[in-house]
Structure 1
Amino acid sequence: MSDVCTSPFCNAGWGELLSHMSPYGFANFGIAFGLGFSVVGAAWGIWLTGSSLVGAAVKAPRIRSKNLISVIFCEATAIYGVIMAIILANKIKKPDEESYQLPENWDFPGFYYAGYGMFSAGLSVGLTNIASGVSVGIAGSSCALADAQDASLFVKILIVEIFASALGIFGIIVGIIESNACNFPIAALDNGN
């Protein structure tokens, strides 16, 4: 066997790959990462909180109902991802379909700007929501365990959990700001005619 690569992708670098991928692909990957990572963050947080809640409820059954608020805070991170996915999906517009031939003055940089911007918005929201879900899960776990030991600690630790949940809110705000400038062109550029 020969070690010589005959594929046209052998000498291609990352820059060539990124510049030849469809901007619509980048936009859809941004939606997928934003939604997917947000759900992973919520699931991870619910797992952390729920396992501690069920374990601590064996010792103190009174904590079961009021500590469900920790699970709700974790679930909010998934909702932030859904909101961002809806916002980004509504920004994807098909170009004019007058003909299959693109004019010379078609706005290709505008397409890539919108695609990369939507990718970065979705990725930043998704990664922020993973961090938010895990931090809310850890704080919720601590809240359940502390409440099982001493009921007066519930509100004090719940405040820390609220601050951890704010990370997800900050992430979606940053994602909305990033996505505001991401608009796919729907017509050719005007040459001033």
Structure 2
Amino acid sequence: MAIVFSSKLTAVSGAALLTKENLYTGYSLFWAGLTVGGANLICGLCVGVTGATAAVSDAADSSLFVKILVIEIFGSVLGLFGLIVGLLMAGKAADFS
């Protein structure tokens, strides 16, 4: 996301900073970054919890491992969805003028 954001950033003089387009771009990039970060934080928590559960359940009954692995994949998709939404938000933002 930093590479995508850096393509939008340019040097702006102080007088032209507070235009509607620049405010929209700034807020769009801010919320895109927050969306991606929050989604990947939740994704990491989900994968950690289900990974620990998969290890314990595999020790108890090996037939449950594949079922819990599918649930872990569903949790990891949350991070990918957050990245897609962040890219869409950053794509709508214009360059700073």
TM-score (norm 1): 0.46
Question: How far is the alpha carbon of 1:85 from its aligned partner?
Answer: 2.2
Unpaired stretches in structure 1, ≥5 consecutive residues: 1-83, 187-193
**More helix as a share of residues:** 2
- How many residues align? The count is 97
Q: Is the counterpart of residue 178 in structure 1 residue 89 in structure 2?
A: yes
Give the percent of matched residue pairs that are identical in Structure 1 and Structure 2: 41
CA distance, structure 2, for counterparts of residue 111 and residue 178 of structure 1:
15
Q: Which structure has more RCO (C-alpha within 8 Å, separation ≥ 6)?
A: 2
Residues 185/88 of structure 1: CA separation in 2 closer, same or farther (3 Å cut): closer
> Which residue in 2 is equivalent to 1:122?
33
Pair 1:133–1:180, CA change in 2 (3 A): same
Number of the residue aligned with 1:160:
71
Shift of 1:102: 4.7
Q: 2:7 aligns with which of 77, 90, 109?
A: 90
Cα RMSD of the aligned pairs, angstroms, is 2.1
CA distance 1:112–1:101, change in 2 (3 Å): closer
Q: Are 2:46 and 1:135 equivalent residues in the alignment?
A: yes
Query: Are the aligned partners of 2:9 and 2:96 in contact in 1 as well (CA < 8 Å)?
Result: no
Which secondary structure does the structure 2 equivalent of 1:90 belong to? helix
CA contact (8 A) 2:43 2:76 kept: yes
CA distance in 2, matches of 1:185, 1:87: 14
TM-score by length of 2: 0.87
